[in-house]
Amino acid sequence: MSTLKISDLHASVITDDGPREILRGVTIDVASGSTHAVMGPNGSGKSTLAYVIAGHPKYVVTQGSITLDGEDVLQMSVDERARAGLFLAMQYPVEIPGVSVSNFLRTSATAVRGEAPKLRTWMKEMKDAMGVLQMDPKFAERNVNEGFSGGEKKRHEILQLSLLKPKIAILDETDSGLDVDALRVVSEGFNAFREETGAGTLLITHYTRILRYIQPDFVHVFFDGRIVESGGPELAAVLESEGYERFITPATP
Amino acid sequence: MTTLAAPPIDLAPRLASGSLSDFPIPHGREEAWRFTPLDKVKHMLDVDPDAGDVTSEASGFVTVGPIDAADAGHWLPTDRAAVVAWVSAGTSVRVDIPADTAVEEPVIVHLKAQAARAHAHVDVRLGRHAKATVVLVHDAEADVSGNIVTQVGDGGDLTMLSILDESDDADASGVMSERVQLWHWPVQIGRDATFLGSAITLAGSVVRMLPSVTFAGPGGSATLLGAFLASEGQYLEHRILVEHEAPHCTSSVTYKGALSGEGTHTVWVGDVVVRRDAIGTETYEMNRNLLLDDGARADSVPNLELETGDIASAGHASATGRFDDQQLFYLQARGIPERVARQLVVRGFFVDVLTRVGSRQWRDAVLDRIAQRLGMEPELERELKADS
């Protein structure tokens, strides 16, 4: 049982004009076995939340805390966070020329597990995980994200998720740029991971359509750098029919 | 950090002569010498009676012996360093592949300097319709200047590698040898012949490697590849000249370098000239440099001069950049420590060019050396290779 605990998190992006505050007091607990959907309009800061949890150097935390099972995540380097059990499925996965998917996955798995997986079981593990995501085995020979279609990039992210088996997964707009078929396959891949590991998940999305495939336990509305409303799955239905208007219009006195 | 501005190529035919007096000692303002630290190489720019020859062991296709007039070949020196080597070297290392012969195994030539300062004459001749791979392993333990005069017969297919690296003995000390290496590598390509030449430059404190290509007839193809890794104040210069004077020839130049350390300097100059009669030419040249820290400097100067517009295509590209922080973040976000992530990115940077050198075995050997220089765990390098 693991818990990612985020309390009153404030963070700024470092720009050429100096720091600009984006997160303005985010508080949320994500425990094993629960899936939290964080939904918000463009520019609300929800992707920044994902990056800050993963430790992207572009952002600086000015206030608040993030802990994983009591350990201070903010004191950890990016790779230490990953080895501690956090995983960010990225919205824009990065191309790494000259590094094959197979090399990359094995190097990652070795780092996260603390020892190199045995070759024979590893091959089978990879083959099975790729099978769930309906990926051609030849995919492993390609360079990481180089020339991947949008769908291939997202499948590759979920493939990593299923091999690295984090305690807490953060999915940043994994549904963006996917057609219906790809969205279904990616969602099934995620659901298989969740069922197998019982990991906690922070699912960041702009649209409700991914929630038809991935059932959330909690839905949070994100606006202006913080969570403005929380509820159960029914909140997604409200957002579906009414949009974000109701949550982002300032209350009139 | 990077210089792109360059004077246009001097289109006049270059002076070619075997006479020392035709080439005065450069003073440093000449275009061809403007980057080179002349004070470190000037002892190689005049004749020294105590200098030795460069030899090799003779083998099936390799003969080693005194230079005779017939060894002159198609080429004459075009600068001071080349002419000093030309008049000083008394021994020729000659690789001869007879016409219509296909040699399966690479012909490996280990050059050996006979003194702390030595001069080389290497003569590589591939007969008509022959096919071979020739690997020159340089002697990085001495100051060497030399000429690798290469001739590809009509319809031939020659793959060559020039490997300039520390010897295994030198590794123990862990210190870069303070050695000067000045090389010309003129290649003449016959009608419909194919040449693939790779310069792998890892060692040497001051290195000038100057491959040049001419086409003796139409339909020839030249691919020039290069990989260099510079650190600890090394100066590595690669200066390429491709002269298209015959029609319907193709040239492609790809050089990649990674550099780090205070005072480290790499220079890449790619001159491509398309003469008036070279219609249907197809040419592209590219240099990419990866700066691993703030102390190093890369100069990259692509030049393309067209005397005719009646060509298939011509282009050049040059880019010098730092580590991509997004790449590091992505790898680290998967648990890979920063040090290993950097190693993966640098290794990956070289993989595409090394994959094209025409020898799996040498690609792997060079990757090993690069991994070693990057401080990579041998175990990791083994795993990476097992898989590609």
Q: Give the pLDDT confidence score for residue A105 in this predicted structure.
A: 96
Contacts of A143 in chain B (CB under 8 A): 348
- Give the dihedral of Cα atoms A98, B337, B381, B205; nearest 10 deg: 80
- Give the three-class secondary structure for A240: helix
Contacts of A108 in chain B (CB under 8 A): 331, 334-336
Asked if B279 and B246 touch (Cβ cutoff 8 Å), the reply is: no
Q: B143 pairs with which residues across the strands?
A: B117
**Neighbour count for residue A234 (Cβ, 10 Å):** 8
- Give the three-class secondary structure for A45: coil
Taking the Cβ of residue B54 and every Cβ of chain A, the question of whether any pair is shorter than 8 Å is answered with no
Q: Residue B298 and residue B289: Cα distance in Å, rounded? A: 7
Taking the Cβ of residue B344 and every Cβ of chain A, the question of whether any pair is shorter than 8 Å is answered with yes
Q: Cβ contact (<8 Å) for B327 and A96?
A: yes
**What phi-psi label fits residue B193: left (phi over 0), alpha (psi between -120 and 50 degrees) or beta?**
beta
Of A55, A94, A141, the CB nearest to B326: A94
Q: Which residues of chain A have pLDDT under 70?
A: 249-253
Could you list the pLDDT tens digit for every one of the 388 residues in chain B? 444 445 556 666 689 999 999 999 999 999 999 999 999 999 999 999 999 999 999 999 999 999 876 656 789 999 999 999 999 999 999 999 999 999 999 999 999 999 999 999 999 999 999 999 999 999 999 999 999 999 999 999 999 999 999 876 555 444 566 899 999 999 999 999 999 999 999 999 999 999 999 999 999 999 999 999 999 999 999 999 999 999 999 999 999 999 999 999 999 999 999 999 999 999 999 999 999 999 999 999 999 999 999 999 999 999 999 988 999 999 999 999 999 999 999 999 999 999 999 999 999 999 989 988 988 888 788 878 776 5
Among A141, A210, A76, A46, which Cα is nearest to B335's? A76
**Identity of the amino acid at A83:** R
| ipTM of the complex model | 0.96
Q: Cβ contact (<8 Å) for B383 and A107?
A: yes
Of B330, B340, B352, the CB nearest to A96: B330
Q: Residue B136 and residue B159: Cα distance in Å, rounded? A: 11
Asked if A233 and A215 touch (Cβ cutoff 8 Å), the reply is: yes
Q: Cβ contact (<8 Å) for A77 and B331?
A: no
Q: Residue A228 and residue A248: Cα distance in Å, rounded? A: 9
**Neighbour count for residue B190 (Cβ, 10 Å):** 24
Taking the Cβ of residue A116 and every Cβ of chain B, the question of whether any pair is shorter than 8 Å is answered with yes
A11's tokens: 């963070």
Q: Give the pLDDT confidence score for residue B382 in this predicted structure.
A: 81
Q: Cβ contact (<8 Å) for B383 and A116?
A: yes
Asked if B385 and B348 touch (Cβ cutoff 8 Å), the reply is: no
**Identity of the amino acid at B239:** R
Helix ranges (H only) for chain A are 46-54, 78-84, 101-113, 119-132, 150-164, 180-197, 234-242, 245-248
B335's tokens: 């648990």
Q: Cβ contact (<8 Å) for A112 and B348?
A: no
Q: Cβ contact (<8 Å) for B334 and A83?
A: no
Contacts of B351 in chain A (CB under 8 A): 97-99
Q: Residue A249 and residue A49: Cα distance in Å, rounded? A: 22
Taking the Cβ of residue A41 and every Cβ of chain B, the question of whether any pair is shorter than 8 Å is answered with no
Taking the Cβ of residue A139 and every Cβ of chain B, the question of whether any pair is shorter than 8 Å is answered with no
Taking the Cβ of residue B276 and every Cβ of chain A, the question of whether any pair is shorter than 8 Å is answered with no
Tens digit of each residue's pLDDT (9 = 90 or more) over A16-29: 999 999 999 999 99
Q: Where are the domains of chain B?
A: 9-322, 324-388
How many angstroms separate the Cα of B234 from the Cα of each of B161, B238, B261?
A: 21, 13, 9
Q: Give the pLDDT confidence score for residue B384 in this predicted structure.
A: 80
Q: Cβ contact (<8 Å) for A111 and B340?
A: yes
What are the backbone angles phi and psi of residue A6, rounded to the nearest 5°? -115, 125
**Neighbour count for residue B101 (Cβ, 10 Å):** 16
Contacts of B327 in chain A (CB under 8 A): 94-96
Closest chain B residue by Cα to residue A143: B348
Q: Give the pLDDT confidence score for residue A252 in this predicted structure.
A: 52
Taking the Cβ of residue B332 and every Cβ of chain A, the question of whether any pair is shorter than 8 Å is answered with yes
Among B145, B140, B290, which Cα is nearest to B229's? B290
Q: Cβ contact (<8 Å) for A79 and B351?
A: no
Q: Cβ contact (<8 Å) for B344 and A57?
A: no
Q: Residue B331 and residue B345: Cα distance in Å, rounded? A: 9
Q: Residue A167 and residue A82: Cα distance in Å, rounded? A: 10
Q: Cβ contact (<8 Å) for A96 and B333?
A: no
A35's tokens: 């899936």
Contacts of B330 in chain A (CB under 8 A): 90, 93-94, 96, 144
Q: Which of residues 161-190 of A touch B (CB under 8 A)?
A: 164
B291's tokens: 């700066």
Of B325, B331, B338, the CB nearest to A96: B331
Closest chain A residue by Cα to residue B379: A116
The H or E element that residue B365 is part of is: helix B360-373
pTM listed for this prediction: 0.90
